[in-house]
Chains A and B, each alone.
Chain A
Amino acid sequence: MKAGVLGKVYNDGDVIVRQGEAGDCMYEILEGTVEVLREKNGQEVCLAVLSKGDFFGEMAIFEREVRSATVRAMGEVRAMTIDKKTLLRRISGDPSLAFRIVEKMANRIRELDIEIERLKAI
């Protein structure tokens, strides 16, 4: 890892987050691409591909559930963890810090709506 970079480097195929595990942080992608996978009956379904500037694992920040999906590195990925406690403390002092998270989640709902519409049309 270069001297002047932040976060942690994951290699191609590394599992960053595993479905079913407990989590107490979210991740910001600083470089590279990851795939979000849902595992059921031994089969993997790719839910999304995320890249630089996206975050994942944010559900662990706002609810006390286990990870809902597995996130795996596609090629070399650099990501940084954002601690649940740190983030919630900051949001409680400055609710506008959550603007970007809400915005990203709203975008995802919009994308899901389009996907539902597409599936219903089949």
Chain B
Amino acid sequence: MSSDFKNIKSSDTHPPLSDENTSHFKLNENSRIAVIGGGPSGSFFAYFLLNMAERVGLDLHVDVFESRDFDNPGPAGCNMCGGIISETLVQTLATEGIELPPNIVQRGVDSYFLHMDVGSVKIETPLQEMRIAAVYRARGPKGNTDLEWGSFDGYLLKLARYKGANLIDDRVVDVAWSNGRPEIKTRGGVVRSYDLLVVAVGVNSPTLKLFQDLDMGYKPPGTTKTYICEYYLGHDGVGSNLGSSMHTFLLKIPRLEFAAIIPKGSYATVCMLGYKIDKELVQSFLNDPAVKKIFPPDWDSDKGACQCSPRMNISPAKKPYAERMVFLGDCGVSRLYKDGIGAAYRTAKAAARTALFEGVSEEDFEDHFWPTCKSLKNDNAIGKLIFLIIGQLQKISLTRRAILRMVSKEQKKEGKKRRMSAVLWDMFTGSAPYKEVFFRTLHPLFLTSFLWSFAVEIWPFKKRTTIQEES
């Protein structure tokens, strides 16, 4: 490592902020921007920055540093996540003019099943429309040979390149300051300074360590380990066993917080969230009767095509911005447990708007980018409270039965009367902010319906009925 790149403090070389040099912090014609990471947040940033710059007639030079090839199946190009694009994000992208083509969407999802030990119920959207997309971040699991499948991350990167971003197939191995500007050094030996450096890497990336030595107040986000495994069922097998539904599980398994099985192409993706996930917890889940019943009888849980235990962002990074530098997506602030790609879109767009219309100083990012992050951060605090409540309710069989009863009854009603269904839908799909979900549970009609379902469950002389499972 060159001595120029060792522990250079930002305050050593930054130009002082003053009215005289405020123009130094504006992007001008031919300003150079580096984006480290070509995942969704990096590609969204490059795409929207160039798109908005085109509208205002500004020519910018954007380099995206990404050494992975998303066209490869398996771990080589994978960004390791469940791969659900939420209903809200699908609609927002459509409004932006970004359509997700059929070769990128492995399956459109129009409903989900809630599985509990007391029964299962199907929750459908009132519109009966496919508005949730199940995607592969790269080109599917290890060994996948189906060339028709496209990578979601690769598709977004192509959109950014179409807008004019320059893809550099190299890895950034060092970062320093040079004359008040961020300077990067790549594995290939390139040293270049930029007007703005955008860090858009995941929490599992070693690149994040480079920024801990720069004294600028950034602290990486808190993380937890998750578990993801792909099972080959064949296209017809996925259709007949999982259909176009996401399957979610609220089971009374110690340390398991939440689990889902997502249909994608010829595979089923198992995702688990919990406390200290290990082999024992994974086996307990996979051997649970509620899980086994949705797989074919001859399914072998040991024969996963591809599996990983990536870390996921569960608490925000500290100060994800500095002079001429901003951190997006997972390495900045994300959404708790859900809709990480939606958070990548929101933070990337907020950063692009700030950089183009306001400036790239620390103050600009604090005033115009941080509010978006703060709103995600505050919403996550409510999300944590909701998951805590769900965790407690999960332990009581009566409440699980009451939830199941309430949802089953609601499915026969019209959209707006499906209060518990809507709450669960938005919780599990990440379609609405946690704050909105929480306040909906305080609605008198929601509480009355829930208490009624609860009372029916504890009534000793109730007519013995079993909740009908939808098929």
User: Known interface pairs A93-B372, A96-B52. Does A82 touch B95 (Cβ–Cβ under 8 Å)?
Assistant: yes
User: Known interface pairs A8-B129, A80-B129, A80-B131. Does A3 touch B108 (Cβ–Cβ under 8 Å)?
Assistant: yes
- B91 contacts A86, C-beta separation under 8 Å: yes
CB contact between A81 and one of B100, B104, B129, B375 (< 8 Å): that residue: B129
User: Known interface pairs A7-B130, A96-B353. Does A30 touch B99 (Cβ–Cβ under 8 Å)?
Assistant: yes
Cβ-based interface call for B102 (8 A):
yes
Cβ-based interface call for B442 (8 A):
no
- A99 contacts B129, C-beta separation under 8 Å: no
Q: Which 10 A-B pairs have the closest CB atoms?
A: A28-B94, A8-B129, A4-B105, A4-B102, A82-B91, A6-B130, A5-B102, A3-B107, A6-B108, A100-B97
CB contact between A80 and one of B88, B90, B103, B235 (< 8 Å): that residue: B90
User: Known interface pairs A2-B102, A82-B95, A97-B96. Does A8 touch B128 (Cβ–Cβ under 8 Å)?
Assistant: yes
- B372 contacts A90, C-beta separation under 8 Å: no
CB contact between A4 and one of B92, B107, B353, B375 (< 8 Å): that residue: B107
Residues of B with Cβ closer than 8 Å to A?
48, 52, 55, 88, 90-92, 94-97, 99-100, 102-108, 127-131, 133, 235, 238-239, 244, 263, 265, 346, 349-350, 353, 372, 375
Minimum C-beta distance from B280 to chain A (A): 34
Minimum C-beta distance from B392 to chain A (A): 30
Minimum C-beta distance from A49 to chain B (A): 19
Contact count A vs B, C-beta below 8 Å: 88
Cβ-based interface call for A53 (8 A):
yes
* Residue-wise interface mask of A (93-122) relative to B, using a CB-CB cutoff of 8 A (1 in contact, 0 not): 110110111000000000000000000000
Minimum C-beta distance from A9 to chain B (A): 10
User: Known interface pairs A3-B107, A28-B94, A97-B92. Does A8 touch B99 (Cβ–Cβ under 8 Å)?
Assistant: no
Q: How many of A's residues come within 8 Å of B, CB to CB? A: 25
Query: Which residues of B sit under 8 angstroms from A87, Cβ to Cβ?
Result: 91-92, 95
Query: Which residues of B sit under 8 angstroms from A81, Cβ to Cβ?
Result: 91, 127, 129, 131
Query: Which residues of A sit under 8 angstroms from B349, Cβ to Cβ?
Result: 94, 96
Per the bound structure, the CA–CA distance linking A5 and B132 in Å amounts to 10
Per the bound structure, the CA–CA distance linking A98 and B6 in Å amounts to 45
Query: Which residues of A sit under 8 angstroms from B88, Cβ to Cβ?
Result: 86, 90
User: Known interface pairs A2-B102, A97-B95. Does A8 touch B133 (Cβ–Cβ under 8 Å)?
Assistant: no
Per the bound structure, the CA–CA distance linking A1 and B131 in Å amounts to 13
- A3 contacts B239, C-beta separation under 8 Å: yes
Query: Which residues of B sit under 8 angstroms from A39, Cβ to Cβ?
Result: none
Cβ-based interface call for A83 (8 A):
yes
The residue in A3, A5, A100 that gathers the most chain B C-beta atoms within 10 A of its C-beta is A3
User: Known interface pairs A5-B130, A6-B100, A8-B129. Does A94 touch B91 (Cβ–Cβ under 8 Å)?
Assistant: no
* Residue-wise interface mask of A (52-75) relative to B, using a CB-CB cutoff of 8 A (1 in contact, 0 not): 010000000000000000000000
Q: Which residue of A lies closest to B108 (CB)?
A: A6
Minimum C-beta distance from A34 to chain B (A): 16
Per the bound structure, the CA–CA distance linking A48 and B95 in Å amounts to 20
Per the bound structure, the CA–CA distance linking A87 and B96 in Å amounts to 11
Minimum C-beta distance from B98 to chain A (A): 10
- B99 contacts A101, C-beta separation under 8 Å: no
Query: Which residues of A sit under 8 angstroms from B104, Cβ to Cβ?
Result: 4
Query: Which residues of B sit under 8 angstroms from A86, Cβ to Cβ?
Result: 88, 91-92
CB contact between A100 and one of B95, B100, B102, B265 (< 8 Å): that residue: B95
Per the bound structure, the CA–CA distance linking A61 and B55 in Å amounts to 24
- B95 contacts A6, C-beta separation under 8 Å: no
The residue in A6, A82, A87 that gathers the most chain B C-beta atoms within 10 A of its C-beta is A6
Known: A4-B107, A8-B130, A96-B353. 7 other contacts (CB 8 A): A3-B107, A5-B102, A6-B133, A53-B97, A86-B91, A94-B353, A97-B96
- B353 contacts A7, C-beta separation under 8 Å: no
Per the bound structure, the CA–CA distance linking A23 and B63 in Å amounts to 44
